[in-house]
Structure 1
Amino acid sequence: MKRIAAAALVAVGMAVGVVPAVSAAEGNELTAIRTGLHAGFDRVVFDFTGPRPSVTEYRTTSLEHCASGKPITATGDEFLVVSMQPANAHDYAGPRAFDTPGLSKVRSVTNTCDFEAHLDFAIGYATKGRAYRISFLDNPTRVVVDVNNS
């Protein structure tokens, strides 16, 4: 009987530990992607319904889909991959890949991952090694990527 009670307590503890992460991901839904040309930089903005996601980034010259590993074709000499967690775009109705002809150096924005509260977008730009800055805005939650265009 003690084993059954202990197993039940362990199961409840594990369930409680997992539920908050799932709930946080569900409330962090991508709602819009916007781009804009500014003096000295191009801007890409990701709007969310929930709290700020954690953001990491890296540069690459080739893209692949996170789940399948299949190559992704997008416009750019180099790509800044912005990874946001917990976040998803399951109900996002806007474009997941598009070119940006109105910007100075940013050439494209492409979704490379939307899996298990892990959302990645690659920002393709002209000329490798371009400077960038990532910041946050609130009400609504936004992840802002500024890419130097000079």
Structure 2
Amino acid sequence: MENLRSGRHLCFDRLVIDLAGPAASHSARYVSELTGIGSGLQVDTTGGANLEILVQAPATEDFKPGAEVKTLGYTTFRQLVWLGSFEGQTKVGLSTRAQLPMRVFALPGPGDGSRLVIDVAHHW
């Protein structure tokens, strides 16, 4: 995993995870609490729901889980939380205003890389 980007669109907020190679195996699900990968330590957030994203790809940098919290203040996204990278897996969390519909998909490129895209709707 090389980079995280977020943005607002008319009907949804989007998180894009840039990967160094082809799209890796991944999962995204709502959880009751966000926890650091490896440590299992809970990371507090301000949103009404928590979306956990796990990617089978190592990160190019590693931070202490919970140390990197970015407040977004978008329509749906509240916070982006770094949950760590351990044994070839990387986990990030999204604090959202509520448990809203979401979709996850992969796109090829640029170059030899790929992108994992997570969209969360503004409304039900």
TM interval, shorter chain, is 0.7 to 0.9
Distance in 2 of aligned mates of 1:80 and 1:31: 20
Question: Is 1:99 matched up with 2:71?
Answer: yes
User: Which has a greater percent of strand?
Assistant: 2
- Distance of aligned partners of 1:136 and 1:60 in 2 relative to their CA distance in 1, 3 Å threshold: same
Q: Which whole-Å deviations, capped at 9, do the CAs of 1:83-118 have from their partners, x for residues lacking one?
A: 111x1114379x9431112x2111111122310011
* Residue 145 (structure 1) aligned to one of 112, 118, 123: 118
1:145 partner letter: I
Question: Is 1:79 matched up with 2:50?
Answer: yes
1:98 partner letter: K
SS in 2 for 1:108: strand
Could you say which structure has the greater relative contact order, defined with CA pairs below 8 angstroms and 6 or more residues apart?
2
1:66 Cα deviation (Å)? 2.2
Distance in 1 of aligned mates of 2:34 and 2:105: 23
Asked whether the 8 Å contact 1:32–1:92 carries over to 2, the reply is: no
- Distance of aligned partners of 1:50 and 1:133 in 2 relative to their CA distance in 1, 3 Å threshold: same
Moved over 4 A (4+): none
Distance in 2 of aligned mates of 1:66 and 1:91: 14
Mark the structure with the bigger radius of gyration: 1
Asked whether the 8 Å contact 2:37–2:90 carries over to 1, the reply is: no
1:67 Cα deviation (Å)? 1.5
Identity of aligned residues (%): 26
Q: Structure 1 stretches of 5 or more lacking a match?
A: 1-29
Distance in 2 of aligned mates of 1:111 and 1:144: 16
What residue in structure 2 maps to residue 135 of structure 1?
105
What residue in structure 2 maps to residue 35 of structure 1?
6
TM-score for both structures, normalised by structure 1: 0.71
The CA RMSD over aligned residues, in Å, is 1.9
Distance in 1 of aligned mates of 2:59 and 2:37: 14
Report the number of matched residues: 117
1:139 Cα deviation (Å)? 1.0
What residue in structure 1 maps to residue 18 of structure 2?
47
TM-score for both structures, normalised by structure 2: 0.85
